[in-house]
Amino acid sequence: MIAPRAPLYLTHAPTPKIRDFATLSALEACIRAILLSVMPLVIYRATGDAAIVSRIYLFVGIGSMFCGLMVPFGARWVPRRWMMTLACGFYLTGVCIALAGGPATKALVLLFNAVGTVTFTICLNAYVLDYIHRIELGRNETMRMVYSAVPWSVGPILGVTLLNWWEPAPFLLAGLGTFVLVVCFWRLRLGNGRQITRARMPTPNPLAYLGRFADQPRLIAGWFFAVMRSCGWWVYIVYLPIFCIEAGLGDQVGAVALSLSNGLLFATPLMLRRVRRVGVRRSVRLGFAVSSSLFMLGFLLSGWPWATVLCIMAGSVALVLLDVCGGLPFLMAVRPAERTEMVAVYATFRDASGITTPAVAALVLAVAPVAGIFAACGIGLAAGFMVAGRLHPRLGLPRTVTAG
């Protein structure tokens, strides 16, 4: 007698979890963290002028923003999994240019890195909004930051150390990280995400959804908060190291400060608990108030360079808090049918800050030393504090909790 055959089951890719997206974020953080403190130093060494560095970052920001706005248009023709892979291809192209080119090509390296970042961010956020429930978005952001804490803490100082040892070393390490990211992404089998379409709707122009974005105040507020906190990080990443070099503190102080500040990502679960207890509005306002005050104080104490460094480092604690809660107004308001488009607009915050920060810095450097950029950043963060006052008091609070 022939034994009955075991039934065949159709298998499919398991539903991705928060941990999977946190892993992808951490791997991408390894790439960016290695080059984060390296690129400003490489460009500054090649030019020797902070104003030229600002102009390079300005033009790169403009190019990156244009590319970011075109991602949704490209996603209509290219499957999302291939767009994600293309983002990694941009990182690899930047690495290859850095290894093969001379000092004049460093701006191209920066551009390809920026385009890779914005493409990866748009695709990953779209996946998150497809698979993670709205009430779990806060936990997703926190786990993402915790998983990325080690790369962001070790990467900046490791990158500068490798740069001073052998200039190609940090770029080779970033290239290796990119290969690992691609392999991990394809092993997760995320596919193209959940497709949510509206019937009988014509394919819009890539810029047509900007009007719908502008009609939703919470999306605008979330985008503005992201721009302002990103400006704070740009100043911290690009201009604090230049300040340290010009003040005679050396080229590793800025990288050490960034690594120490990024170590605060381990505290993001505690920060999220506070956000859930007191609400999004109070948390966002606290973050902007503290960071604004400390950046302005750093400018006032610029005659004592170490005091300025300590003030800006302390201000970065508030920037981490803003990383935890500043994007929640957007994530809680975006409509499912507009995920890819609205995420694409939201992702322009990096490019908007990448344009605004060097543009303002160039104006400041025309009349003041590098420390003046800290004061200008403090004013921008104060504007974020004012806008946050317009958020709903109960945003992010459980229904049984009364806003204070």
Q: What is the per-residue pLDDT across 168-201, written as a single tens digit (0 to 9) for each?
A: 899 999 999 999 999 988 888 776 555 444 434 4
* More reliable by pLDDT, 310 or 273: 310
Is position 202 within any domain? no
Residues 219/213, Cβ–Cβ less than 8 Å: yes
Is position 364 within any domain? yes
Residue 256 token pair: 């050490």
Q: What is the pLDDT of residue 310?
A: 94
Hunting for tokens 């999220």 — which residue is that? 272
Spatial CA neighbour of 236 closest among 216, 211, 264, 209: 264
Question: Residue 346 pLDDT more than 90?
Answer: no
Ranges of H-type helices in 235-279? 240-246, 253-262, 268-278
DSSP per-residue codes, 306-355: HHHHHHHHHHHHHHHHHHHHTTHHHHTT--GGGHHHHHHHHHHHHHHHHH
Mean pLDDT of all residues in 376-391: 90
Is position 314 within any domain? yes
Is position 342 within any domain? yes
Residue 50: CATH number of its domain? 1.20.1250.20
Q: Is 390 helix (H, G, I), strand (E, B) or coil?
A: coil
Spatial CA neighbour of 112 closest among 88, 84, 148: 88
pLDDT digits (tens, 9 = 90+) for 195-250: 444 434 444 454 566 777 777 777 888 888 889 999 999 899 889 988 998 888 88
Residue 208 token pair: 């047509």
Q: 28 lies in which domain range?
A: 18-194+207-388
Is position 8 within any domain? no
Is position 398 within any domain? no
Is position 321 within any domain? yes
How many domains does the structure of the chain reveal?
1
Alpha carbon 41 to its chain's center: 20
pLDDT digits (tens, 9 = 90+) for 95-138: 898 888 766 677 888 889 988 888 888 888 778 877 777 666 66
Provide the whole-model pTM.
0.75
Question: Residue 167 pLDDT more than 80?
Answer: yes
Is position 116 within any domain? yes
Residues 344/71, Cβ–Cβ less than 8 Å: yes
Least confident of 87-101, 151-165, 256-270: 256-270
The fraction of the chain above a pLDDT of 70, given in percent, is 83
Residue 172 token pair: 């080779």
Spatial CA neighbour of 326 closest among 241, 248, 391: 391
